[in-house]
Amino acid sequence: MIRILLAEDQGMMRSALALLLGLEEDIEVVAQVAAGHEIVPAALEARPDVALLDIELPGLSGLDAAAELRTRCPDCRVLILTTFGRPGYLRRAMEAGAAGFLVKDGPVEELAAAVRRVLAGERVIDPALAAAALGAGPSPLTPREVDVLNAAADGATVADIAARVHLSESTVRNYLSAAIGKTATRNRMEAVRAARRQGWL
pLDDT, greater one: 134 or 65: 65
Looking at the chain, the whole-number percentage of residues with pLDDT higher than 90 is 63
What's the pLDDT score for residue 127? 73
Q: What is the mean pLDDT of residues 182-192?
A: 90
| pLDDT tens by residue, 114-155 | 999 999 999 998 776 766 665 556 788 999 999 999 999 888
What is the secondary structure of the chain as a DSSP string?
-EEEEEE-SSHHHHHHHHHHHHTSTTEEEEEEESSGGGHHHHHHHH--SEEEE-SS-SSS-HHHHHHHHHHH-TTSEEEEEES---HHHHHHHHHTT-SEEEETTS-HHHHHHHHHHHHTT--EE-HHHHHHHHHH-S----HHHHHHHHHHTT---HHHHHHHHT--HHHHHHHHHHHHHHTT-SSHHHHHHHHHHHT--
What's the pLDDT score for residue 94? 83
Q: What is the mean pLDDT of residues 166-193?
A: 91
What's the pLDDT score for residue 184? 87
Residue-averaged pLDDT of the chain: 89
